Amino acid sequence: MKQLISKRTIDKLSKLKATQILSHFHSKSSIPTSSLPPSTSWTKCRFFQIHNIPIPKFVSWSGKKFIHTDTATDTAEEMVSETEDDATMNDFLSRFVWIMRGKLMEVYPDFEKKTIDEMLLVIVAKVVSELEKGGFDQIVGGKSSSSSQDDDFSHDLWKTVWEVSNVVLEDMEKAKRKDKMKNFLQAEQVKEMCRFAGEVGIRGDMLREYRFKWAREKMEESEFYHSLERFKEEEQQGTEYGIGVVEHQSRAEDPKLVALPKRRGKINYKIYGLDLSDSKWSQVADKIHEAEKIICPQEPKKIDGKCKIITEKLLSSQEQDDYSPLIAEWVQLLQPSRVDWINLLDRLNNRNPSLYLKIAEQVLGEESFQTNIRDYSKLVDAHARDNRREDAERIIRKMSENGIVPDILTSTIMVHMYSKAGDLDRAKAAFESLRTQGFLPDMGVYNSMILAYVNAGDPKKGESLMKEMEVRDIKPSKKIYMALLRSFSQHGDANGAHRIATTMQFSGFQPTSESYMLLVEAFGKAGDPDQARQNFDYMIKLGHKPDDRCTATMIAAYEKNNLLDKALNLLIELEKDGFEPGVATYSVLVDWLSKMQLIDEAEQLLDKIAEQGEAPPFKVHISLCDMYARANVEKKALQALGVLEAKQEQLEPEDFERIIWSLIAGGFVQDAQKFQRLMEARGFTVSEQLQVTLMASQTFLRRRPSVR
């Protein structure tokens, strides 16, 4: 705006005749006035009507210079800082020019910006001229002298100036009242009332409403007293100059919204404290307008007619239907963009998620969809969450075929998917792909890989990843520590279990009864019952009472070394402290007694398991089959063997070998050969010694193997 009323522009404009400016407007227009419709042509001709009069120069405002010129009368005093009145005038002119520009652009949409700026100069010049002559009251009130209408602007333009001026003054009055309201909100009396309301329990929105109510009442009270003072002053002035009180009352009934003060100095356009006089702001506005096209999301096309019918058919399709022709017809009718595709897929996902995945996969090949890597990763993630590994791998292959390298998100999803499926090799490949691309795995990726190693029976590599996490200041969770500890314990790696337990304790996780039980199990399987008993006693010392499972683990450690006396002494000590053996403890004792061929004692323990209302665990049937087969109790041996054959998927390689050895020892050679075939069908390898014994048993059916 500063550029509009610069010295050079005003000097140039003041030398021109009005007719020359008007002809300049028409020369700038890309559409001649005569070619417009009658109504539009009349509007453009009548809206801006000027008759060969010079544009009034911005000479003075009540004896003060309006803008800076090069005349000798310019002094430093005329360029003083703006007073409160100048700020009001700046506000009025800023708002007036802003609204008037929009009006002109509506009437003259084809005119260039420069032409619109020159038209604004003419209008502002006339408004300022009316202010200098004291005729602004008539402008605001909607009245103007006939000479003004005949000599300067058309009636339509004057009417627009009146309307815009009234709107600007109303907005200024609203802003003024808003500022006053802010001051009264911070008044001490209002604050005191709010504090009192808070003390009696008024909070939140209710307190906020009361605060505005009290501030509004204070403002109305203040305005009332100010109006009384103003009325008193007007009455005194009326008495002094001989003006009646009635006349002043009639004037008071029609108050001015805002008094426009006389101004001096150069016009500066400021809105909310921001100086918009610089020409750079017009460039900023143009750039913002261009950026809106990119920032604002594009709306999907309206679907109607035949395209709407095709869309409904697509949404109501089933997975077994052939929806490819429908998609082709939909594309031909709508000519969709990416926004239209996304809108269709979202509606499909809400109505039929399984069909959504299939159509989304087909849409990836559409050129108008503008497929990116995020679209692939979303489908891979959706398939991985539902354990559809083959579908996820198919999407990944499509990515590779199209030359798209999996990003960090896709590689992370692949690590989680393969580790969950137990495919360690592919999980490792996806993990290494992350590192190759320069991405640092996060805690979730580490957890998945550690669990993959644990499930694959390789806890040492999982431990190395855990150390890598600690180097990067990523604290492993308690779940990861316990998974590694459990894996080391199951493999009988006492040193590894001890390392994990120590590291977990240093990381701030206190030992639990389960962690102590796993340590006892690890030392027991490693053949170190003394170290196992030491951890067992330390657990009791810390206040953890051993449960049935933990006690069974300690008894199993003694069983491995055949220390029956120590096991019995432990049970006696625990029973004194109120411990009662459960199914787990009895199961370990049954297995121990079955190996010792103490059939009666083992059957007594079976009765105690039955008294607790539970069926014997599956491992107990292995012990019973071993005991009865070696004792040649055919009926009970075959009964236990039938239970094992029915649940053969639960048997481990060592379980198969124990059963086969016991059957050979009892003379059940055919049954032993049958279980050998079952073992090989499961993919387990029969030991060489057992194979030799089976071959020999075909010749000597009733001969026991001398060595096991």
pLDDT surpasses 50 at 465: yes
Mean pLDDT of the chain: 77
Residue scoring higher pLDDT (702 or 18): 702
Per-residue confidence (pLDDT) for residue 198, from 0 to 100? 79
444: CB partners within 8 A, 6+ apart: 412, 416
Segment 142-156, tens digit of pLDDT: 444 444 444 567 777
> Are the CB atoms for 589 and 555 separated by under 8 Å?
yes
The whole-angstrom distance between residue 296's C-alpha and the CA centroid of its chain comes to: 19
8 A C-beta contact, residue 7 and residue 67: yes
pLDDT for res 209: 84
Task: Give the least confident one: 286-300, 322-336, 480-494, 560-574.
Answer: 286-300
**pLDDT number for residue 519:** 92
Q: What is the pLDDT of residue 530?
A: 92
Q: Round to whole Å and give the CA distance between 253 and 272.
A: 31
Helices (H), 389-528: 389-401, 408-421, 424-436, 443-455, 459-471, 478-490, 494-506, 513-525
Are the C-beta atoms of 47 and 154 separated by less than 8 Å? yes
Dist CA 680 CA 692 (whole Å): 16
Q: Are 679 and 653 in contact (CB under 8 A)?
A: yes
Give the residue from 628, 563, 545, 552 showing the smallest Cα distance to 586. Answer: 552
Of 421, 396, 420, the residue nearest 409 (C-alpha): 396
Contacts of 410 (CB under 8 A, 6+ apart): 373, 376, 377, 380, 396, 399
Q: Model confidence over 553-583: pLDDT tens digits?
A: 999 999 988 898 999 899 999 988 888 889 9
Question: Tell me: the pLDDT tens digits for 401-431?
Answer: 888 888 888 888 888 888 888 888 888 888 8
Structure confidence at residue 31 (pLDDT): 32
Nearest to 51 by CA among 130, 127, 149, 133: 149
**What is the rounded average pLDDT of the residues 226-235?**
84
- pLDDT the model gives residue 485: 93
pLDDT given for residue 454 in this prediction: 92
In whole angstroms, what is the distance from residue 175 CA to residue 491 CA?
79
**Contact residues for 346 (Cβ-Cβ < 8 A; gap 6+):** none
Instruction: Please tell me the predicted confidence (pLDDT) of residue 120.
Output: 82
What is the model's pLDDT at position 252? 46
Q: Which H or E run includes 274?
A: strand 274-275
Which residue has better confidence, 279 or 311?
Answer: 311
Q: Looking at the predicted structure, is the pLDDT value of residue 13 above 60? A: no
The answer to whether 513 and 546 are in contact (CB under 8 A) is yes
pLDDT surpassing 60 at residue 707:
no
User: Contact 380/392 with Cβ under 8 angstroms?
Assistant: yes
Structure tokens at 365: 């090949």
Instruction: Name the nearest CA neighbour of 566 among 543, 536, 595, 544.
Output: 536
pLDDT at 293: 61
Sign of CA dihedral 276, 282, 287, 291: positive
pLDDT digits (tens, 9 = 90+) for 624-683: 999 999 988 888 888 888 989 898 888 888 999 999 999 888 888 888 888 888 998 888
Q: What is the pLDDT of residues 499-521, one digit of tens each?
A: 999 999 998 898 888 999 999 99
pLDDT in tens, 467-490: 999 888 889 999 999 999 999 999
For residue range 171-202, what is the model confidence (pLDDT) as tens digits?
888 888 888 888 888 888 888 888 888 777 78
- In the predicted model, is pLDDT for residue 20 greater than 60? no
Task: Report how far apart, in Å, the C-alpha atoms of 441 and of each of 109, 270, 421, 448, 474 are.
Answer: 58, 53, 20, 11, 10
Contacts of 448 (CB under 8 A, 6+ apart): 415, 416, 419, 420, 427
More confident residue, 288 or 386: 386
CA angle, 259 then 264 then 269, to 5°: 75
Q: pLDDT class for 255, splitting at 50, 70, 90? A: very low
pLDDT in the model for residue 103:
83
DSSP string, 603-657: HHHHHHHHHTT-PPPHHHHHHHHHHHHHTT-HHHHHHHHHHHHHTGGG--HHHHH
336 compared with 47, residue with greater pLDDT: 336
Q: What percent of the chain has pLDDT over 90?
A: 14
pLDDT of residue 532: 92
294: its two tokens: 């990119």
pLDDT at residue 24, rounded to an integer = 36
Residue 78 pLDDT greater than 50, yes or no: no
Backbone angles phi, psi at 587, to 5 degrees: -65, -40
pLDDT of residue 484: 93
**Tokens 């199914």 appear where?**
583
Q: How far apart are CA 496 and CA 488, in angstroms?
A: 6
- Contact (Cβ atoms closer than 8 angstroms) between residue 656 and residue 688: no
What is 49-102 written as a DSSP string? ---S-BPPP--EETTEESS--SSTT--GGGGPPP-HHHHHHHHHHHHHHHHHHH
